[in-house]
Amino acid sequence: MTSTMRSVVGAEAQDEPGDVSTGTVQPRRRRAKRRYRLTPLVLSAGVIILMALFFIWPGVLGLTYSFTSYKGFGPMTFIGLDNYTKLASDPTFYAALGRTLIYTVFSVPLGYALSLSLAVALTNLRARGKTAARIIFFLPWLVSPIVTGVIWRWMFGENFGFVNYVITSLGGGAVPWSSDPNLSLMVVIVASAWAGAAFNMLLFIAALNNVPKSYYEAAELDGANGWQRFVSITLPGIAPTSVLVILLSTLGQMKEFAMIQALNNGGPGTSNQLIVQYIYQTGFAQSNVGYASAASMVLLVILMVIALIQIAINRKATR
């Protein structure tokens, strides 16, 4: 996506010098050009309408809601920045936001390490059975977030789960995976790494295959061991993909909702309520649409800041 981003911006810069010199263009060419102007509009009409209906309109509406005390029905009363000032001193909001940040900070590196390991293991020339392993690695991609939650809830059940069974058989005590907030979040983190690994693995495989083989051969001749080769050739070679994977998974984790609902429903209690669940609860369960929209706008700004920071890092790294 980062490369896309660069080319989009690039396209803007090198836009049609012909446009400027329209006056000197032959009449016939001009008519042809006008025809070429209508066609892209016809081709993009569907997407433009969908974007206007389900992206721009809701976006503007959401911003408007955030300045009102709208309840989902009835009149919209303008209340200025009240929602935002209230939000600034709402401990539940901070708790949800903080929990989401903790979740993201732990699950992104774990997911990164897992998907990179899978990709490295799959691209190793000497490993056997890669076709079968590839199919296995990709299976979690098929599993819906809800079912992912069910699978891991089942694995980590306190009185019936496989993990606690192994721990107690080895002489340990049953670990409170669902009644301790931090342990419960840990299970969610592991589950998210498992669920997201397949897709990122594909991105890494493409990147790993593009690292020139000659670099490895040269390093091997110089006596570099496997780990040294990995750190000084592989990691720099896949840096743009790493930024992409980290960006996408950060944005993805910040809006986690379905999987955690199935796994522990933000529990125990509301201790693991993440930000999207908070927005859902206030907006739909309590019908505080105005207030929930203000919280959404805060999330939106956070997501944009994250994206811009990572794009800036990538620009610097590739320059």
Partner 1 sequence: MRKKSGEIRRSILPTTMLWVLAILMAFPLLWFLLSSFKGGGELFTYPLSFLPREWTVDGYMRAWERIDFVRYFGNTIVVATLTTALTVFFCATAGYALAKYRAPWLSVFALCILSMTMLPGEVILSPTFSVVRDLGFYNSLIGVILPSILTPTGVFMFRQFFITVPDELLDAARIDGANELSIFFRIMLPLAKPIMLTLAIISFQWRWNDYIFPLIILSDPKNFTLQIALRTLLGSENIDWAILLAASVISMIPLVLLYLVFQKYITSSDINTGLRD
Tokens, residue 275: 């930000």
For partner 1, the binding residues in 282-301 under the rule CB under 8 A are 283-284, 289, 292-293, 296-297, 299-300
Site membership for partner 1, residue 227 (CB under 8 A): no
Q: Kindly tell me which residue out of 25, 102, 258, 313 binds partner 1, with binding defined by CB under 8 A.
A: 258
Minimum CB separation from partner 1 for residue 256, in Å? 9
- Looking at the DSSP bridge assignments, the partners of residue 68 are 78
Interface with partner 1: number of residues (CB under 8 A)? 105
Candidate list 21, 24, 39, 214; residue touching partner 1; CB under 8 A: 39
Among residues 28, 34, 37, 319, the one that binds partner 1 under rule CB under 8 A:
37
Rounded-to-integer distance, Cα 112 and Cα 228, Å: 19
CB of 7 to partner 1, least distance (A): 8
22, 29, 30, 55: which one binds partner 1 (CB under 8 A): 55
Least CB distance to partner 1 at residue 178 (A): 12
Q: Which of 91, 148, 107, 146 is nearest to 270 (CA)?
A: 91
Told to check if 124 binds partner 1 by CB under 8 A, we report yes
CA distance linking residue 316 with residue 310, whole number of Å: 10
Question: Which residue in the block uniquely carries the two structure tokens 């920045």?
Answer: 81
Three-class HEC string of 155-186:
HCCCCCCHHHHHHHHCCCCCCCCCCCHHHHHH
**How far apart are the C-alpha atoms of 62 and 296, rounded to whole Å?**
8
For partner 1, which residue of 29, 30, 31, 54 counts as binding (CB under 8 A)?
54
Q: Is 78 in the site for partner 1 (CB under 8 A)?
A: no
CA angle 59, 61, 65 (to 5 degrees): 120
Residue 78 pairs in a beta bridge with: 68
Q: Please pick, from the candidates 58, 98, 172, 212, the single residue that binds partner 1 as defined by CB under 8 A.
A: 58
The residue (of 77 and 124) whose beta carbon lies closer to partner 1 is 124
265 versus 271: smaller Cβ distance to partner 1? 265
Sequential DSSP letters for 261-276: HHHTTT-STTTT--HH
Contact status: 169 vs partner 1 (CB under 8 A): yes
* 62 vs 237, beta carbon nearer partner 1: 62
Q: How far is CA 254 from CA 96, 107, 219, 236, 307, in A?
A: 11, 10, 39, 27, 12
